[in-house]
């Protein structure tokens, strides 16, 4: 029996295809990271898995039942974006209320503790900061002692320390044998937490595997430099994914590589002129560009070229 | 359906069901509104203040049937309070909540929506009782109303029936009006209803045309039923209310109106749900 089973999941909004055929089978105890840039269809996918949105096509089964089934919802927790609890209730009151909705629940104090909100328990929701509200959302997701937990961009409004704390709590929760599915557009948030990574872009799964494998696939660096090396020489650099080369004698180029070290070693060993060298870790968007190399990256290319020229 | 075994946390426990859910919802709603001064003052206390200003000065007059004028004015102001509360709690506030993500967020929980609406109704009943008690105490202590306990009890029963039957009118507006328009519409509905039903001054003082419209309004029947519960017919007509129709007609109109508005609300709710999932 699978924790989550989705087949051929598709969702359109008018002419826009948000989710374009996703197959996802999650086993109990798996911690799955849905990695993708903004607008990749992560939120829509989670909403369909939650039964909050009807798929245009495809099927979803959660814990062996329909996601809209009350018995299933009783065992599912969700931390969603942009959901404001009533401002005049305190954090503890809101958690207590949502806890009461669930047939089996953990004590309010424990849910607050797991979300690091104990000291703000008696503050009204309207007085909480953005990060505290986000943690409240996490406490709400946890209070029903769920078997399946969805977290949609859980760290979006959190500062670095709060992020670290949150992932610790997610790991502790997963260690109880629970299933967790979370979305992120940050490659760093995959490491150490997820047991599996599903890379999503434009509504499709691009890669699905262990974090190390996916990381290797999408990780990379961008090298910006001014050089007079020939296009052929640049094209022959080791680990090269793509080159942005305006052409000419001495010009600014941008290299997208899997690993910057071998490429730079080769380049510097040649007698080509190299100046204004800048190496940056590739953003996820760059990685997707490298993976798909397709149309929607055009804007991105121009942008990177401009950045390089600056 | 085969299901996966639930892995319980050691600290997990089963909450009391199903009443625990409703109790928690009502508690949260009451707490929440208690902390909103604009609600407590504007909706709960205002009828009491208006009664103190315009009802109490008529103290010490007693009608031939033994009913004090203050007792009948208590009914008028309580009726107004009930209708205003039903419309504002369910109309304006629900419309606002529909706007926010919270209501949508709750759909991802196992809470049945009936609990949500039940909680709101109970909230409205609690605050209605506060308003009624406030006016009744003033009438008795400061206005020497000389309530007959049996008549007072029946009247309070009628007033609470009003809360139950008029709340769906508010929620129907909340679900069919654009959220920003809801408050305006509630006011547009509420004021004529109150005036044309004789809550602020006797109907006999209104132009004939408007008097002719009155019997078509559900709140008119509500007023008739409430005054009828407080005093004998002779006293009521001396008070300035022209009685018409039987008690049962009034009850049927009020309950029928409540049912019709409930159906409208349910349709609006479904429409909302379909839109959200769509």
> Do A96 and A227 fall within a single domain?
no
Boundary residue ending a domain (A188, A217, A246): A217
> Do A136 and A101 fall within a single domain?
yes
> Do A118 and A132 fall within a single domain?
yes
The count of CB pairs under 8 A between chains A and B is 120
pLDDT of residue B166: 95
DSSP conformational letter for B241: P
> Do A204 and A120 fall within a single domain?
yes
Please give the residue range of the domain that contains residue A104.
4-217
| The pLDDT of residue B242 is above 80 | no
| The pLDDT of residue B45 is above 90 | yes
Length of chain B: 278
Q: Mutation target for B interface from A56, A86, A99, A134: give the one with most B CBs within 10 A.
A: A86
What is the token pair recorded at A65?
A: 């039942």
Q: What angle do CA A163, A168, A174 make, to 5 degrees?
A: 125
Boundary residue ending a domain (A217, A241, A266): A217
Number of domains in chain B: 1
Chain B positions in Cβ-Cβ contact with residue A94 (cut-off 8 Å): 28
The closest CB to that of A64, out of B1, B31, B104, belongs to B1
> Do A158 and A266 fall within a single domain?
no
pLDDT of residue B71: 93
Q: Residue A120: helix, strand or coil by DSSP? A: helix
pLDDT of residue A3: 94
Least confident of A93-97, B64-68, B128-132: B64-68
Chain B positions in Cβ-Cβ contact with residue A98 (cut-off 8 Å): 109
For residue range A37-89, list pLDDT tens digits in order. Answer: 888 899 999 999 999 999 999 999 999 999 999 999 999 999 998 778 888 89
pLDDT of residue B202: 81
Identify the residue with better confidence: B76 or A156. B76
Identify the residue with better confidence: A291 or A298. A291
For residue range A237-277, list pLDDT tens digits in order. Answer: 888 888 888 888 899 999 888 888 999 999 888 888 888 99
CATH of the domain at A34: 3.40.50.300
**Within a domain: B13:** no
Chain A positions in Cβ-Cβ contact with residue B100 (cut-off 8 Å): 84
> Do A120 and A261 fall within a single domain?
no
Number of domains in chain A: 2
Give me the mean pLDDT over the B71-86 stretch: 94
Chain A positions in Cβ-Cβ contact with residue B107 (cut-off 8 Å): 52
DSSP conformational letter for A119: G
Length of chain A: 310
Pairing of strands A240-244, A251-257: antiparallel
| The pLDDT of residue A308 is above 60 | no
pLDDT of residue A297: 40
Contacts 24+ apart (CB under 8 A), B267-276: B267/B175, B268/B171, B268/B172, B268/B174, B268/B175, B268/B176, B269/B113, B269/B175, B271/B175, B272/B98, B272/B175, B273/B107, B276/A52, B276/A53, B276/B104, B276/B107
Give me the mean pLDDT over the B37-60 stretch: 89
pLDDT of residue A49: 95
Please give the residue range of the domain that contains residue B49.
19-277
Within an 8 Å CB–CB cutoff, is residue B276 touching chain A? yes
Boundary residue ending a domain (A157, A183, A217): A217
pLDDT of residue A221: 84
Q: Which chain B residue shows the shortest CA-CA distance from A2?
A: B4
For residue range B89-109, list pLDDT tens digits in order. Answer: 888 888 888 877 788 888 889
CATH of the domain at A244: 3.30.70
């Amino acid at each position: 029996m699978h924790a989550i089973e989705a087949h051929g999941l598709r969702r359109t909004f008018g002419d826009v295809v948000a989710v374009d055929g996703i197959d996802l089978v999650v086993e109990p105890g798996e911690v799955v990271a849905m990695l993708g840039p903004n607008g990749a269809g992560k939120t829509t996918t989670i909403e369909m898995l939650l039964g909050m949105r009807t798929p245009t096509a495809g099927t979803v089964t959660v814990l062996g039942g329909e996601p809209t089934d009350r018995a299933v919802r009783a065992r599912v927790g969700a931390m969603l974006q942009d959901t404001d609890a009533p401002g005049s209730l305190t954090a503890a009151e809101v958690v207590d209320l949502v806890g009461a909705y669930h047939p089996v629940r953990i004590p309010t104090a424990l849910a607050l503790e797991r979300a690091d909100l104990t000291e703000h328990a008696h503050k009204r929701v309207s007085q909480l900061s953005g990060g505290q509200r986000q943690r409240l959302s996490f406490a709400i997701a946890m209070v029903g002692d769920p078997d399946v937990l969805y977290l949609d961009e859980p760290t979006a409004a959190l500062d670095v320390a709060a992020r670290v704390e949150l992932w610790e709590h997610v790991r502790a929760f997963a260690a109880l044998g629970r299933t967790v599915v979370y979305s992120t557009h940050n490659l760093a948030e995959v490491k150490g937490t997820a047991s599996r990574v599903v890379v999503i872009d434009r509504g499709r799964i691009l890669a699905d595997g262990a974090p190390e494998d996916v990381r290797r696939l999408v990780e990379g660096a961008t090298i910006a430099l001014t050089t007079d090396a020939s296009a052929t020489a640049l094209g022959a650099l080791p680990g090269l994914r793509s080159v942005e080369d305006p052409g000419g004698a001495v010009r600014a180029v941008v290299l997208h590589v899997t690993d910057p070290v071998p490429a730079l070693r080769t380049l510097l060993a040649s007698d080509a002129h190299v100046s204004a060298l800048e190496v940056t870790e590739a953003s996820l968007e760059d990685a997707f560009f490298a993976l798909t190399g397709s149309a929607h990256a055009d804007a991105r290319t121009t942008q990177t070229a401009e950045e390089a020229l600056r | 359906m085969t299901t996966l075994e639930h892995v319980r946390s050691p600290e997990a426990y089963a909450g009391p069901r199903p009443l625990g859910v409703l109790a928690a919802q009502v508690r949260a709603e009451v707490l929440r509104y208690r902390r909103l001064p604009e609600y407590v003052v504007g909706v709960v206390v205002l009828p009491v203040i208006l009664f103190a200003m315009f009802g109490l000065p008529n103290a010490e007059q007693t009608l031939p049937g033994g009913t004090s004028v203050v007792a009948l004015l208590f009914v008028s102001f309580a009726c107004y309070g009930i209708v205003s509360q039903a419309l504002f709690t369910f109309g304006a506030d629900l419309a606002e909540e529909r706007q926010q993500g919270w209501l949508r967020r709750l759909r991802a929980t196992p809470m049945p929506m009936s609990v949500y609406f039940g909680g709101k109704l109970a909230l409205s009943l609690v605050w209605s009782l506060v308003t009624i008690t406030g006016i009744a105490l003033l009438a008795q202590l400061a206005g020497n109303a000389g309530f007959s306990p049996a008549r007072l009890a029946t009247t309070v029963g009628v007033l609470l029936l009003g809360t139950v039957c008029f709340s769906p009118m508010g929620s129907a507006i909340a679900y069919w009006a654009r959220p920003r328009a809801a408050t305006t519409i509630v006011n547009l509905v509420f004021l004529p209803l109150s005036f044309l039903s004789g809550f602020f001054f006797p109907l006999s003082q209104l132009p004939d045309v408007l008097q002719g419209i009155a019997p078509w309004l559900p709140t008119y029947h509500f007023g008739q039923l409430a005054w009828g519960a407080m005093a004998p017919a002779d006293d009521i007509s001396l008070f300035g209310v022209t009685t018409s129709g039987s008690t049962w007609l009034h009850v049927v109109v009020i309950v029928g109106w409540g049912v019709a508005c409930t159906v409208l609300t349910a349709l609006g709710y479904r429409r909302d749900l379909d839109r959200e999932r769509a």
